[in-house]
Amino acid sequence: MATTTPLPFPKRLIKKGEADATLVKAVQAALKGHGYGPFTAVGVFDAQMAAVVKLFQAQNVDSQGNALVVDGEIGRFTWGALFGVAAATAAPAPSSPLMLQALGVAASQIGQMEVPLGSNRGPMVDLYLKATGVPLTGNPDARAWCMAFVYWAFDQGAAHLGTPNVAPRTAGCLDHWGRARFVPGAVRITSAEALADLSLVKPGQVFICDFGHGLGHAGIVERVLPDGRLVTVEGNTNNDGSRSGVGVFRLERRKLSDKLLKGLVDYSAC
């Protein structure tokens, strides 16, 4: 196997239709160096090259020994496997006082559980729900509280700082994502953008998952690990990362490469 000269990751996805022919040639050369190819169109990222990339991804792991996502696109971890460049941990980016305060409030709730379990109720859970105006009676499935927990944490943080709570008042995860675009200074970062550039990930950001059919999940980011996993504090979950769990947990299960992760909301400029 040929030795591949390490190249720094360009901080964006390289995929079919890539316009930078020089970059594509470098990737093709790296793939050939690992024994993958040939390529009929030099410098062109076409369907044939995407298939070769998928084969490489299926047969290789990242620098941490984790399986690569087989999608035919070259993100930071496939790049690292190709060029022998370990994915570095980004230095924590500056967060706003509100985001850090909200994270601290959320972390203080780790271990809080529903009472009784499975009811979407409890002394603290009721406070989370009330913060967003969700009725405490009726069908338990109608009062999922993961987003309410996030809003409550931001609301408590804002009260402590004596500043406005810029987070949209909603118990809906996808509603939060949609309404955040209208908050002055708020920035929505897609999971692909964050995966390409880990420095975009900040403590106190809100992560949003989209499971389809209007179902979602949310929590607060604590930090990002070298392999692209997020350390999060989230409610209405469990140790398996369920979107309908029974308590508040600190987890290391959310992956920036997960297609269910819609993105992050950053309120640091608000």
> How far is residue 260's CA from residue 263's CA, in Å, rounded to a whole number?
9
> How far is residue 227's CA from residue 220's CA, in Å, rounded to a whole number?
18
97-266 in CATH: which number? 3.90.1720
Per-residue pLDDT of the chain (270 residues; tens, 9 = 90+): 444 556 888 888 899 999 999 999 999 999 999 999 989 999 999 999 999 999 999 999 887 788 888 999 998 889 989 998 765 555 556 789 999 999 999 999 999 999 999 999 999 999 999 999 999 999 999 999 999 999 999 999 999 999 999 999 999 999 999 999 999 999 999 998 998 888 899 999 999 999 999 999 999 999 988 778 899 999 999 988 788 899 999 999 898 989 899 999 999 999
pLDDT of residue 2: 46
With beta carbons less than 8 A apart as the criterion, state whether 269 and 187 touch: yes
pLDDT of residue 43: 96
| Three-class secondary structure of residue 24 per DSSP | helix
With beta carbons less than 8 A apart as the criterion, state whether 14 and 28 touch: no
pTM: 0.79
Strand segments, DSSP code E, in the chain are: 187-190, 206-212, 215-224, 229-237, 247-255, 261-266
- Type of residue at 91: A
Q: Please report, to the nearest 10 degrees, the dihedral formed by the alpha carbons of residues 103, 203, 265, 186 taken in order.
A: 90
With residues binned 3-state (H G I as helix, E B as strand, rest as coil), the percentages for the chain, rounded to 5, are 35, 20, 50
pLDDT of residue 1: 45
Domain ranges of the chain: 21-83, 97-266
